[in-house]
Amino acid sequence: MINFDFAKKEMISNQLRKRGIADKRVLKAFQDVPRHLFVPEDNIEHSYDDSALPIGFNQTVSQPYITALMTQILRPLEDDIILEIGTGSGFQTALLSKLCKYVISLERIPELVSFSRDNLKKLSIGNVQIFVADGTLGWKSEAPYDGIIVSAGAKEIPQSLMNQLKPGGRLIIPLEHEGYHKLFRIKKEETGFIKEEILDCMFVPLIGRGYDE
């Protein structure tokens, strides 16, 4: 029998705190959202490993550290409305739901929308809506957003996502670079966009029509 509580504590201490995840709200969200509720049964014993894990359809739930880092640099506030692109298992969605007012999450694979909705139900999370949609086009009806987080690697920044950010808003996005990805934070200021490179990483691809818009 696996002691998931112990494994979660170890994960938070060794993979997150020791690597510089210091935001108390983010660490608390990781405490409150058990990752094993978002991992398919055949890999459940690896739920707190330092790695991405398969969730079917050639997709993954991202490595805990990368998920934490992306959440920390997004800096979600209690009253924020956040758009997430690439729901996957719903793990990151659940973390965001603990940190902001409302989350809209978009996923292109219908089976993963069902999977993530079922996973979120286990925690009775109510401030989230998940849609089957091409996230490269964003989600106009609730725009503009305080933050947008993309958890798949993009060829370039989709214009719709830039348009749908509030002034002061943050966009977190991995961008293709010589066969891997670089994670960026882009801030929308009154005077324009400020682009900050964060680190090298590897994601599944962001597939969609929004690059040509």
Q: Which residue is nearest to ligand SAM (CB)?
A: 86
CB 205 → ligand SAM: shortest distance, Å? 7
Nearer Cβ to ligand SAM (7/160): 160
Burial class (CB in 10 A: 0-12, 13-18, 19+), 101: middle
Q: Which of 13, 47, 62, 151 is catalytic?
A: 62
**Is 33 or 186 the residue whose CB approaches ligand SAM more closely?**
33
Query: In angstroms, what is the minimal distance from the CB of 78 to ligand SAM?
Result: 21
Place of tokens 């979120």: 120
Residues that bind ligand SAM (CB under 6 A): 59-62, 85-86, 88-89, 91-92, 106-109, 112, 134-136, 151-152, 203-204, 206-208
Tell me if residue 13 is catalytic.
Answer: no
For the bound state, the minimum distance from the C-beta of residue 173 to ligand SAM, rounded and expressed in Å, comes to: 12
Min. distance of Cβ 61 from ligand SAM in angstroms? Answer: 4
Of 139 and 168, CB closest to ligand SAM: 139
Residue 94 in tokens: 């659940």
Token pair of 20, please? 């510089």
For residues 11 and 204, which CB has a smaller minimum distance to ligand SAM in the complex?
Answer: 204
**Would you please indicate which residues are annotated as catalytic (active-site) residues?**
62
